[in-house]
Amino acid sequence: EGTSQTLTMMMFAIASISLLVGGIGIMNIMLVSVTERTREIGVRMAVGAKRRHILAQFLIEAMTLSLVGGLLGIVLGILGARATTVVAGWPTIISAESVVVAFLFSLAVGLFFGLYPAQKAARRTGSGSAKALSTTAAANTAAADATARRAKAGAQSAARRSRRQARRRPSMEGVTFLL
């Protein structure tokens, strides 16, 4: 009984550290996502999204990421328990309650560690997003202007070639043919 309790405490410690590391990883991924998606956040706010909509979007993304990791962990845990039973001959019992608790903990980790990035996304002002949009619009306008200038120059060049060719052709005026 003492060995079983020690083993349980050791597994609890390992699981806690794993959840903490996984949560920090989720938070970092979501912070990078918020930074890279400034333009998207600005567009959503410009078309009427409220801060709570942005908050909900990023929280759902963090919880989804965490749940996928949790499901993967549950499947690998079940496979590991089965492998332990087969290889070492140790009987393993996986209760439905432990699977539900693991699933709920992964959900809670996603919610807890996704809250800060989601709040950061919701607090983004439209100014940074508008600046990114105006920079993009200015670049698009400059590219369109350059394309128009190239098209105009090409048309002028074609007209000059046509005039030169017309000057080179001999005139047939005053030439009579003897048949």
pLDDT at 133: 56
pLDDT over threshold 80, residue 61: yes
HSE of 144, CA atoms in CB hemisphere, 13 A: 6
pLDDT at 178: 57
pLDDT at 170: 60
Helix axes 2-36, 96-123, angle to 10 degrees: 30
pLDDT more than 90, % of the chain: 38
User: Higher model confidence: residue 137 or residue 17?
Assistant: 17
Question: What's the token pair of residue 105?
Answer: 């903990």
Mean of the pLDDT values across residues 123-151?
68
Residue 35 burial (CB count, 10 A)? 12
For 77-133, how does the pLDDT look when each residue is reduced to its tens digit (9 = 90+)?
A: 999 999 999 998 888 888 899 899 989 988 999 999 999 999 999 998 655 555 555
Residue spans of alpha helices (H) in the chain: 2-36, 38-46, 51-88, 96-123, 126-168
Read off the pTM: 0.63
Residue 99 burial (CB count, 10 A)? 14
- Taking CA atoms, 116 is separated from 28, 41, 53, in Å, by 10, 16, 15
pLDDT at 92: 87
pLDDT at 155: 77
pLDDT over threshold 80, residue 171: no
Q: Which of 58-62, 66-70, 136-140, 158-162 has the lowest mean pLDDT?
A: 136-140
User: Higher model confidence: residue 26 or residue 133?
Assistant: 26
Mean of the pLDDT values across residues 150-161?
79
pLDDT at 62: 93
